[in-house]
């Protein structure tokens, strides 16, 4: 069985993409998709108890993710960004396995490095989902948060964007969570560049 070690995912596109392949595999069964979706509440509880002692067990998530090739990092706290992204993907983007035989899932579209939250907010502006002032204000608010608060706020932001069919690039989002404690200024700069330099949904200036 091929495994994906999160420690190897620190900023390299193949690693982040590998993790998302594991997540898509875990979501390919009805039980896997359902448990990962329920995992969002587990992760949010664990943000208050990063040792994993929130009273909510991560075991259902492990059952599906590890079977798909996932190996968690050394500590429960370091694992939270991975589980959060997995739960958000399962909630908003994972195809319904029960209809897979009659309805083919959408083809996977690779993301570009600049497809970060700034790009998603720029896309929302282009579609008229958000005003530019509102998008800039929300993105600026997120940019000033610490990592834990950022992850706590992200589910509502992602929900708003996905309800308007604005894409979220999961590998860059995971990478930004992982970079945040060490390089918050660089992540903020990357978001600003993508937000202000994107003149269509797919094309930077």
One digit per residue, pLDDT tens: the chain, 205 residues? Answer: 444 444 433 333 335 568 999 999 999 999 999 999 999 999 999 898 866 677 678 999 999 999 999 988 988 889 999 999 999 999 999 999 988 666 555 566 677 878 999 999 999 999 999 999 999 999 999 999 999 999 999 999 999 999 999 999 999 999 999 999 999 999 999 999 999 997 655 554 4
Please list the residues that pair with 23 across neighbouring strands: none
Three-state secondary-structure class, residue 4: strand
CA 56, chain centre distance (Å)? 21
- Yes or no: say if 161 and 2 are a contact pair by the CB < 8 Å rule: no
Torsion on CA atoms 182, 186, 188, 194, rounded to nearest 10: -140
Q: What span, in angstroms and rounded, lies between the C-alpha atoms of 135 and 17?
A: 27
For residue 85, give the nearest of 160, 7, 22 by alpha carbon: 22
Q: Which residues contact 111 (CB under 8 A, 6 or more apart)?
A: 169, 170, 171, 172
pTM score of the predicted model: 0.86
């Amino acid at each position: 069985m091929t495994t994906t070690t999160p420690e190897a995912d620190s900023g390299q596109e193949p690693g982040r993409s590998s993790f998302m392949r594991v997540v898509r595999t875990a979501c390919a069964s009805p039980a896997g998709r359902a448990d990962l979706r329920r995992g969002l509440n587990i992760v949010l509880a664990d943000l208050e108890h990063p040792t994993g002692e929130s009273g909510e067990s991560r075991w259902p998530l492990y059952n599906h993710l590890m079977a798909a090739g996932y190996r968690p990092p050394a500590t429960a706290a370091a694992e939270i960004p991975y589980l959060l992204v997995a739960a958000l993907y399962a909630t908003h983007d994972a195809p319904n396995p029960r209809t897979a035989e009659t309805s083919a899932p959408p083809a996977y579209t690779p993301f570009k490095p600049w497809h970060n939250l700034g790009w998603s907010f720029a896309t929302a502006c282009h579609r008229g989902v958000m005003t530019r002032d509102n998008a800039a204000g929300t993105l600026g608010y997120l940019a000033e948060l610490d990592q834990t608060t950022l992850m706590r706020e992200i589910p509502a932001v992602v929900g708003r964007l996905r309800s308007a069919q604005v894409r979220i690039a999961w590998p860059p989002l995971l990478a930004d969570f992982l970079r945040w404690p060490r390089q918050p200024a660089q992540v903020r700069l990357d978001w600003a560049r993508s937000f202000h330099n994107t003149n269509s949904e797919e094309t930077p200036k």
